[in-house]
Structure 1
Amino acid sequence: MLKTSFHLYPKGKGMRVNGFDLLGDGIFNIDGDGWKFQRQVSSHEFNTRSLRKFVEHVVDVELTDRLVPILASSAATRTTVLDFQDILQRFAFDNICKIAFGYDPAYLMPSLPEAIFATAFEEAVFITTGRIRTNLPMIWKLKRLLNIGSEKRLRIAVGVVREFANKVTKEKKLELEQKSSLDSVDLLSRFLSSGHSDEKFVADIAGPRVCLGKEMAFLQMKRVVAGVLRRFRVVPAADDLVDPVYVSSFTAKMKGGFPVRIEVRNEIK
């Protein structure tokens, strides 16, 4: 559907209006020639061999120098509970900033420091998601007009995000996805055919809008799985009777995080 019928599923006016304050005219929020131009420029950069080698280096350093020592320290105490969701978000945030901006925010440190940019970005994403999900858009539009409540917080958060981006640019570069249908289409057929394809499982979207960072994300996941699970056991610390609660956002999350205890595996001889 997103590949063969791409022309029938633009972002649409609704997504553009809801996301404009945060995403502006960026590649995630536009259609047509503007999107095509940004896609071509970005695609060229993402497909260079030098970038892939740099990504591998950045991820390996973050894994070896920061993630593994924090997990080892937690395992040594035996009773420490970590929010593994927060830990991995910090890991990804450091990697993205170093790769895209040449800037190390040092967000994944033993003290688990608060990063103003990361906090502001999470706030902006949360409020923007609320805009997209609401059935009464006039409410957030009125709040924005009056500069009150969540819309005032969004304006402040976006200001922080833009200030950060401007500073690092001067010094040195999603789960929730919305489309508008221009025609009727049969959605059942994509699950009836045999075999696996990227078009059936679209966490990274599919077709011409497939996520440019998909391979980078898979590289991070593979490195983390290989580097962490051969050393440690990651044991859920939540009550077995409590089911995780999914939080709808630009990225999939668990409400309240993912509390775990870290245990050292016996060495494999």
Structure 2
Amino acid sequence: MELLSATVSAAMASFCFVLICFCVLLLRIFMGKSLKHPQYPPVMGTVFHSLLCFNRVYDHYTDVARKYKTFRLLSPSNSEIFTTDPRNVEHILKTNFDKYSKGSQNYEILEDLFGHGIFNTNGDKWRQQRKIASFEFSTRNLRDFSCAVFRTKSAKLAETILGFGVKNQTFDIQDLLMRCSLDSIFKIGFGVDLNCLEGSTEEGRAFIKAFDDSNRFICWRFVDPFWKLRRILSLGSEGTLKKNIKFMDDFVFGVISNKRKQTFEQQNYNDKEDILSRFQMESKKDPERMTNQYLKDIILNFMIAGKDTTAGTLSWFFYLLCKHPLIQEKVAEEVREVINCKENETKIDDFVECLTDAALEKMHYLHAALTETLRLYPAVPTDGRCAETDDVLPDGFRVKKGDGVYYMAYAMGRMNYIWGEDAEEFRPERWLNNGVFQPESPFKFVSFHAGPRICLGKEFAYRQMKIVAMVLLRFFRFRFADETKQVTYKTMLTLHIDGGLHLGAIPRVIFDKF
């Protein structure tokens, strides 16, 4: 009897403790937030409500944004303001750039994955990394080298798809594109051949899975009030995340170590050959700050930029082309018109050599189709900044110091007031004027960020996507493996197709050999 009484007492004490914690949490969420003040954005719930619709959270935000261009969700420490208004986007990313930062909360959530890399820093560290990377992206040497790598990897990708076609098998094109992109970014950025596409390095494929899973687990932290406790106890996704981070750290530290060894052993080694080498050269000037840990953070930041942006966008691109076969044929026809390689046109290696800078610049319809894909399926669906001081947005709503202000690129691409009544239609022609591509304001089309932190690799990404698309659409016509399957995204920091994209490929030419 005494044991039962003690058990009941312990249970009651636990219940009371949980209840008190819950009440404290509610007080922190709702107190001092000017809930009904007309000068602040309307409250549409708390950040924890996103748990209820986590798997379709970007569509949920889009539905809310159709009623309120700017709204907010409450969190225990501040308000999280979400907007689709291009005026607000320009305000936080350019006009009042100095009043907004990445914010301590965002930094803490992302630190385990991105550390002190360019996407997760402010001030001197950000300026230093951007200066070095900006120099690299502007060199002719890198552009020529990257084009050569893209052509080689695209040819290998086409040969891999041909292998499936010969056996009449379907394949997950997202998986192939992720592997191809990772091979490319490691070769260009860090001088390393992973050979993930050929499947010869299981470690490389394991790296992709570890990184993508970590991407999703980090995203979950934004709506999980107990993630810090679970990290301490290594519970659930936090335990898996810790193992993934350890695996990736070891992998990247190995890349850095091998690169240092290569630089030391090769006296004629060009220390500006790749991005990692450039940063290693800088580390000699400031070894106390530019440690291996710092270089590792830089690598992972450039990897997500080089892999997820291009591979994710190309996956959605082929999804949309399969939904709109007439547009697929328009792009293929443009490839045939621009690339006049009549001789040996059935040989993939010969065709890719025709993909010069001049040829890529003539691909206006392809450029429009890729941009239209990014409008509807931006690589980073939601991004934002944190207010360092009280401010007023151009739409009249006030922002308090510490509030987050997020622009929703996914939702913005679906707003009629921005793009017209056909906003949700895939229509590349909206980007063309007499057949020539016409860009829009980066604060309206914000897939590559905007302002001082605009993506340095924008042209780099377009170049890779064009080469891959031209090679694949020259030699194959794509179709869904299952026309009835619903295709949607996986909620992550970057926009991946949930479960992959399974296609079949029909050769457009009779190949000389396989």
Q: Is TM (by shorter chain) over 0.5?
A: yes
Counterparts of residues 173-188 of structure 1 (less than 5 Å): 173=276, 175=380, 176-181=382-387, 183-186=391-394
1:31-70 superposed Cα distances (whole Å, 9 cap, x missing partner): 2222122211221122111111110111111112x20111
Matched-pair contact (CA < 8 Å) for 1:81–1:260: yes
- RMSD (Å), alpha carbons: 2.4
**192-201 vs 116-125, which moves further:** 192-201
**Distance in 1 between residues matched to 2:488 and 2:473, nearest whole Å:** 25
**Distance in 2 between residues matched to 1:5 and 1:263, nearest whole Å:** 51
In the other structure, the counterpart of 1:121 is 211
1:81 aligns with 2:170: yes
1:201 aligns with 2:291: no
In the other structure, the counterpart of 2:193 is 104
In the TM superposition, what is the alpha-carbon distance from 1:213 to its structure 2 partner? 2.0
Counterparts of residues 162-173 of structure 1 (less than 5 Å): 162-172=249-259, 173=276
Matched-pair contact (CA < 8 Å) for 2:230–2:236: yes
In the TM superposition, what is the alpha-carbon distance from 1:105 to its structure 2 partner? 1.1
Percent of aligned positions with the same letter in both sequences?
Answer: 35
Counterparts of residues 7-46 of structure 1 (less than 5 Å): 7-46=98-137
In the other structure, the counterpart of 2:245 is 158
Structure 2 CA distance for partners of 1:195 and 1:222, relative to 1, 3 Å: closer
**Distance in 2 between residues matched to 1:116 and 1:92, nearest whole Å:** 15
In the other structure, the counterpart of 1:250 is 493
1:231 aligns with 2:231: no
**Distance in 1 between residues matched to 2:214 and 2:132, nearest whole Å:** 26
Matched-pair contact (CA < 8 Å) for 2:183–2:196: yes
**Distance in 2 between residues matched to 1:234 and 1:192, nearest whole Å:** 29
Structure 2 CA distance for partners of 1:20 and 1:201, relative to 1, 3 Å: same
* Paired AA for residue 383 in structure 2: E
**Distance in 2 between residues matched to 1:229 and 1:34, nearest whole Å:** 42
Give the TM-score normalised by the residue count of structure 1: 0.88
**Distance in 1 between residues matched to 2:201 and 2:474, nearest whole Å:** 24
In the TM superposition, what is the alpha-carbon distance from 1:112 to its structure 2 partner? 9.2
1:261 aligns with 2:261: no
**217-226 vs 30-39, which moves further:** 30-39
Unaligned 5+ runs, structure 2: 1-89, 260-275, 277-378, 396-411, 421-437
Which of 459, 463, 467 is matched with 1:215 structurally? Answer: 459
Which has the bigger relative contact order, CA under 8 A and spacing at least 6? 1
Structure 2 CA distance for partners of 1:112 and 1:184, relative to 1, 3 Å: farther
Which of 181, 201, 206 is matched with 1:92 structurally? Answer: 181
**Distance in 2 between residues matched to 1:179 and 1:234, nearest whole Å:** 40
Q: Secondary structure at the match of 1:179?
A: strand
Structure 2 CA distance for partners of 1:34 and 1:192, relative to 1, 3 Å: same
Matched-pair contact (CA < 8 Å) for 2:195–2:201: no
In the TM superposition, what is the alpha-carbon distance from 1:256 to its structure 2 partner? 1.0
In the TM superposition, what is the alpha-carbon distance from 1:247 to its structure 2 partner? 1.9
* Paired AA for residue 470 in structure 2: A
In the TM superposition, what is the alpha-carbon distance from 1:235 to its structure 2 partner? 0.8
Structure 2 CA distance for partners of 1:27 and 1:14, relative to 1, 3 Å: same
Unaligned 5+ runs, structure 1: none
* Paired AA for residue 456 in structure 2: L
